[in-house]
Amino acid sequence: MTASFDTIPETALAWHREGKGAVLATVIQTWGSAPRRVGAQLAISGQAEIEGSVSGGCVEGAVIVEALEALESGEARELEFGVSDNDAFAVGLACGGTIRVLVEPVGKVLPEELLTALCEARAARRPVAYVADLDTGARRLDESGHEMRFRMDRSGFEEDGRTFVAIHNPPLRLVIVGAVHIAQALVPMAKIAGYDPAIVDPRETFGASARFPGETLLNDWPDEAVAKLGLDGRTALVLLTHDPKLDDPALELALRSGCFYIGALGSTRTQAKRVERMTAAGFSEAEIGRIHGPIGLDIGASGPAEIAVSILAEMTRVLRTGA
């Protein structure tokens, strides 16, 4: 699991079970230049330990005070901070944005068994939505019924304006077939963007630990490696070998999977031949249309690093917009 995958709910659950007391604070709405996106969380223990962030440091101090008071009273709180609020300005939210934060004591507002189930779903890489009715106080978990939110990784209010849906998606993964120079540039960039990368190449000279120190390397045939790793809706597959013998077996598995992005290196002519092979293999026009080839956004990239930038940019566009 990549280190960028937060463990905030898990930490709150551990603090609660240790008897310290715990509170989860969640950004539920933003306006303007808010420093964190909706769904960002901060865990606070009864001893004022913290993990995570709701504002990048701007209002954490005020939220901690409110959280400790909420833990004492056993009640949820809705907080709002903006540039025009004296309290918020005093603690540094001078960026022009406004945020609303929901504060929930674990065990009193957020049931322990519900938080446990949430953490179990996260550990199993199952997308799950935490749904809070702010009027009735009801809480539940949904693993379906929020497809667009899951797809866009977007927490937020339903149309009634009082039902908040917090999306907990599995960590992003990137499976790269072809341990080439572009992969050497793409892996560290993808890790910064929150991906957990794995590199697949049966050619041990290419897929060597000296070329990718500390990374997950599989020197298996690509279809075997991809099947072993699994492809789900939080996984991107990038094919970089140019060699149909290596790329195509993995590509066929990807076209039958729910992975959110499939990209294949090569020229327009190479892509046309790839389309012909996939058509002959029985794939439909819509299925083949999922392949991004030539791979990456057209930014006039030159050299492995710039091509890697274009690939990561295209992956991000597909992830966030579906385009």
Q: Could you tell me if 216 and 109 lie in one domain?
A: no
Predicted TM-score of the model (pTM): 0.73
Q: Which of 136, 168, 200 represents a domain boundary (last residue)?
A: 168
Stretch 231-257: mean pLDDT? 94
Q: Which of 133, 168, 203 represents a domain boundary (last residue)?
A: 168
Any idea which of 31-40, 149-158, 228-237, 252-261 has the lowest mean pLDDT? 31-40
Q: Could you tell me if 132 and 86 lie in one domain?
A: yes
Stretch 171-184: mean pLDDT? 95
Q: Could you tell me if 124 and 218 lie in one domain?
A: no
Q: Could you tell me if 185 and 47 lie in one domain?
A: no
Kindly state whether residue 240 falls inside one of the protein's structural domains: yes
Stretch 246-257: mean pLDDT? 95
Give all strands (DSSP E) within 134-283, no chain letters: 139-142, 156-157, 163-168, 172-177, 195-200, 216-218, 235-239, 261-264
Kindly state whether residue 33 falls inside one of the protein's structural domains: yes
Name residues whose C-beta falls within 8 Å of residue 13's C-beta, 6 or more positions apart in sequence. Answer: 22, 106, 112, 115, 116, 119
What does the pLDDT read at residue 151?
A: 79
What does the pLDDT read at residue 89?
A: 47
What is the CATH number for 289?
A: 3.40.50.720
In whole angstroms, give the CA distance from residue 317 to residue 117: 31
46-74 residue pLDDT tens = 999 999 999 877 789 999 999 999 999 99
Kindly state whether residue 312 falls inside one of the protein's structural domains: yes
Task: Please state the domain count of the chain.
Answer: 2
Quickly state the pLDDT bin for 88 (edges 50, 70, 90): very low
Q: Could you tell me if 105 and 135 lie in one domain?
A: yes
15-42 residue pLDDT tens = 999 999 999 999 999 987 777 889 999 9
Q: Could you tell me if 124 and 204 lie in one domain?
A: no
Q: At 249, phi and psi to the nearest 5? A: -60, -40
Kindly state whether residue 55 falls inside one of the protein's structural domains: yes
Q: Could you tell me if 195 and 293 lie in one domain?
A: yes
Kindly state whether residue 118 falls inside one of the protein's structural domains: yes
Q: Could you tell me if 215 and 150 lie in one domain?
A: no
Q: Which 8-state DSSP code applies to residue 4?
A: T
Q: Could you tell me if 163 and 186 lie in one domain?
A: no
What does the pLDDT read at residue 3?
A: 38
Q: Could you tell me if 90 and 108 lie in one domain?
A: yes
Q: Which of 119, 139, 168 represents a domain boundary (last residue)?
A: 168
Whether pLDDT at 165 is above 70? yes
Quickly state the pLDDT bin for 128 (edges 50, 70, 90): very high
In whole angstroms, give the CA distance from residue 119 to residue 29: 23
255-295 residue pLDDT tens = 999 899 999 999 999 999 999 999 999 999 999 999 999 99
Q: Which residue has the higher pLDDT, 219 or 95?
A: 219
Question: What is the enclosing helix (H) or strand (E) of 16?
Answer: helix 8-17
Q: Which residue has the higher pLDDT, 87 or 278?
A: 278
Q: Centre a 10 Å sphere on the Cβ of residue 72 and count the other Cβ atoms it contains.
A: 11
Kindly state whether residue 262 falls inside one of the protein's structural domains: yes
Kindly state whether residue 190 falls inside one of the protein's structural domains: yes
In whole angstroms, give the CA distance from residue 283 to residue 194: 31
Q: Could you tell me if 61 and 140 lie in one domain?
A: yes
Kindly state whether residue 154 falls inside one of the protein's structural domains: yes
Find the domain containing 233 and state its range: 172-321
Q: Could you tell me if 183 and 141 lie in one domain?
A: no
Whether pLDDT at 319 is above 60? yes
